[in-house]
Amino acid sequence: MSDQQEFPDYDLNDYADPENAESPSSNTGLALPGQNLPDKVYIIPIHNRPFFPAQVLPVIVNEDPWAETLELVSKSDHHSLALFFMDTPPEDPRHFDTSSLPLYGTLVKVHHASRENGKLQFVAQGLTRVRIKTWLKHHRPPYLVEVEYPHQPSEPTDEVKAYGMALINAIKELLPLNPLYSEELKNYLNRFSPNDPSPLTDFAAALTSATGNELQEVLDCVPMLKRMEKVLPMLRKEVEVARLQKELSAEVNRKIGEHQREFFLKEQLKVIQQELGLTKDDRSADVEQFEQRLQGKVLPAQAQKRIDEELNKLSILETGSPEYAVTRNYLDWATAVPWGVYGEDKLDLKHARKVLDKHHAGLDDIKSRILEFLAVGAYKGEVAGSIVLLVGPPGVGKTSVGKSIAESLGRPFYRFSVGGMRDEAEIKGHRRTYIGALPGKLVQALKDVEVMNPVIMLDEIDKMGQSFQGDPASALLETLDPEQNVEFLDHYLDLRLDLSKVLFVCTANTLDSIPGPLLDRMEVIRLSGYITEEKVAIAKRHLWPKQLEKAGVAKNSLTISDGALRALIDGYAREAGVRQLEKQLGKLVRKAVVKLLDEPDAVIKIGNKDLESSLGMPVFRNEQVLSGTGVITGLAWTSMGGATLPIEATRIHTLNRGFKLTGQLGEVMKESAEIAYSYISSNLKSFGGDPKFFDEAFVHLHVPEGATPKDGPSAGVTMASALLSLARNQPPKKGVAMTGELTLTGHVLPIGGVREKVIAARRQKIHELILPEPNRGSFEELPDYLKEGMTVHFAKRFADVAKVLF
């Protein structure tokens, strides 16, 4: 095995100067190419890359088996041997396939042979190409061969000279790009002449990083012009690679240099500024930032004192200590609160009315209630903190009413949902000793809105949870009590905040789950459902344009008729709010968009006939108002709005006395049924029935839709009327609905949800109602469009009801 290695210690000029060459017969002299070349030489195969005639390089070979070869060479007159390139080294260098050697090798003169650690090293000076003529000894090293030397023309042509100049220029380009080529190499290059192109071409090939096989092709190519044509592209490629490499490393160095320079300059600037007192360290910068934040704010004395103490503490703490981070976070929050900063209210009732009308169709009583509230503020000069609770079924616009209040006042609006909240720390904050402690939602709201008098909406207040972590509903008591929230205490800040100027708007679907003490602190405004006329107006003004905009459809490309809107509301969206209506309109728009994709220029008009094909069969049918003996239509209130509730009574047999109830009734309704049964049984004679009827009859009272749970104190009158109709065997007057609670002595008690019940009756096209006398005021307060066309009888006692029915 053998290898080549470059040793920069050798002065290559010692071997490259033909002027110093002695005769080849001398042991120490150098043989010139073409002079006294030996016929028989020993050969050594090399494996790294071919050796060229123009090279002078150290060669290292294994002592075993090449020591004997080198000894024989040193004893010869010419001190020469032939180096042949083998691409893959043989397993045993003593026995290799002689046919695997290439056509040409290089005759080299051996200098300075030495031995160390099982290796032989010598400097080889390339003389000329050599070709094996005959193998004289080829069984084992030393290998002896008879050789011949290729003839080369002495006079170069102009073309060859031109190539020679191109090669010299390329090598000169390469030298500054690759620092591995030393000054001596430049001197060495100056010795070459374009008039002697063979060594120049070989030297140029040797400079490249081409593969061994590519270089061997150059060595095998004797004709001068062909060889130069092979070498020039190889050399140009080397120049390009070296140039690219230099550019890349320069770019990398530039980037690294820039970063380092920037870093050093910044550090220097810091030191200079600190020396001149122009900037402060991190701690001083933090203290200054917090002090700047407090400028223009009016802090209570207690808060000012506490913040000053914390600032002093911050200025002596080490920036790396955990206590520094805790104190810094505390000051970050405490200075972000807008102490004493109040926004100016727009107390213009005309503007407020305009905003409310723009955002809401219907809800006239709610709008007038809000305008009264604003009028008081305008009269007084400020809207003091008030707690308004908007109660109503889903989709009637409670949240958007809150936004409209904020807009009409010109105050910032902040909304957060308390639905499902179980931790009172969400309201009042965590103690700051805990990891990850934060102030409560109210402090976060004040920080966001940057004034102390925003409109804050607490959504879904009826859906708050309770857990082992505390009861947030109780934590809200202090927040929403006008007497206490002047000094609201947040656990994190541990400072008193004045929330008395905040306008709180809460929303709920039902009052049942709101704790009594919390409800007591709020002013309840009820939003009942919409009637069909209002829903049509809302759909035309708000929902339909919103859906078109959402789908990116032009108004003139897609229209819906008023009749279709009414049919849609009656058949598919009969709930109290308008959320279901919005979904169905969205569905219609989506179906139309599919058609518009196929025909972009089409104009689609949606009429009554198109609803079933787009939305399927109507969900709601026109309910048959049940009628007949023992059947009465009642009115009920649910969290989704008002509903009609038929009640049926029938006699099963006369074998024994009995009373049976069905229809998933709650405790209150069961009691109402028992009272109605007892009252009618004891007073049947006075109402014109057979006094013995209930003594012999087994009566069954049923409230239809048995799968739906029903409860509430407003069905006593309806149940008693059903039982009376059964006992008299006389059907009641048609088209009458009623509501009211009954006592054992026949008094009719007031009920709630009059507006919702009236809307439910209108929806069912019932225009005659029986209401309790104490509810007369509630009915009179209803807007005229709800009362229009309604005949209402007010009953003090059950006898008044019986008069109307029979």
Counting residues of the chain whose pLDDT is more than 70, the rounded percentage is 90
**Rounded average pLDDT over 130-154:** 86
- Please give the Cα distance from 352 to 342 (Å, whole number): 20
pLDDT band at 152 (very low <50, low <70, confident <90, very high): confident
Catalytic residues: 714, 757
Counting residues of the chain whose pLDDT is more than 90, the rounded percentage is 15
Which pTM was predicted? 0.58
| CB distance 420 to 362 below 8 Å | no
- Please give the Cα distance from 137 to 145 (Å, whole number): 7
**Rounded average pLDDT over 382-411:** 82
Per the annotation, does 393 bind a ligand? yes
**CA distances in angstroms from 469 to 214, 420, 472, listed in the order given:** 81, 13, 9
Query: Which range in 119-128, 522-531, 546-555, 600-609 is most confidently predicted, on average pLDDT?
Result: 119-128
**CA distances in angstroms from 642 to 58, 199, 508, 754, listed in the order given:** 107, 109, 16, 9
From 66-70, 396-400, 471-475, 743-747, the region with the lowest mean pLDDT: 471-475
pLDDT reading at 150 higher than 60: yes
Q: What is the dihedral of CA 280, 285, 287, 288, to 10 degrees?
A: 90
pLDDT of residue 6: 39
Nearest to residue 741, comparing CAs of 752, 727, 733, 756?
Answer: 752
pLDDT of residue 181: 63
Q: In what order do the strands lie in the sheet with 631-638?
A: 658-662, 698-702, 641-653, 631-638, 736-738, 768-772, 791-795
Cβ neighbours of residue 698 closer than 8 Å, sequence gap 6 or more: 651, 652, 653, 654, 655, 656, 657, 658, 659, 660
Per the annotation, does 399 bind a ligand? yes
pLDDT reading at 472 higher than 70: yes
- Please give the Cα distance from 12 to 57 (Å, whole number): 8
**Rounded average pLDDT over 138-150:** 88
pLDDT reading at 4 higher than 90: no
* Structure confidence by residue, pLDDT tens digits, 24-59: 333 333 444 545 789 999 999 998 899 998 788 899
pLDDT of residue 341: 86
Identify how many contiguous H helices and E strands the chain contains and give both numbers.
29, 25
Per the annotation, does 398 bind a ligand? yes
pLDDT reading at 384 higher than 90: no
Residue type for 688, please? G
pLDDT of residue 622: 64
* Structure confidence by residue, pLDDT tens digits, 732-741: 888 899 999 9
pLDDT of residue 128: 92
Query: Which range in 165-174, 269-278, 463-472 is most confidently predicted, on average pLDDT?
Result: 165-174
Q: What is the mean pLDDT of the chain?
A: 83
Cβ neighbours of 521 (radius 10 Å):
20
If DSSP codes are grouped into helix, strand and coil, which group holds residue 512?
coil
pLDDT reading at 163 higher than 60: yes
pLDDT reading at 656 higher than 90: no
pLDDT of residue 11: 39
If DSSP codes are grouped into helix, strand and coil, which group holds residue 326?
helix
* Structure confidence by residue, pLDDT tens digits, 242-262: 889 888 988 998 888 888 888
* Structure confidence by residue, pLDDT tens digits, 267-284: 888 788 777 766 666 677
pLDDT band at 145 (very low <50, low <70, confident <90, very high): very high
**CA distances in angstroms from 441 to 447, 498, 563, 589, listed in the order given:** 10, 15, 47, 39
**Rounded average pLDDT over 168-182:** 76
Token pair in block for residue 411? 């105050």
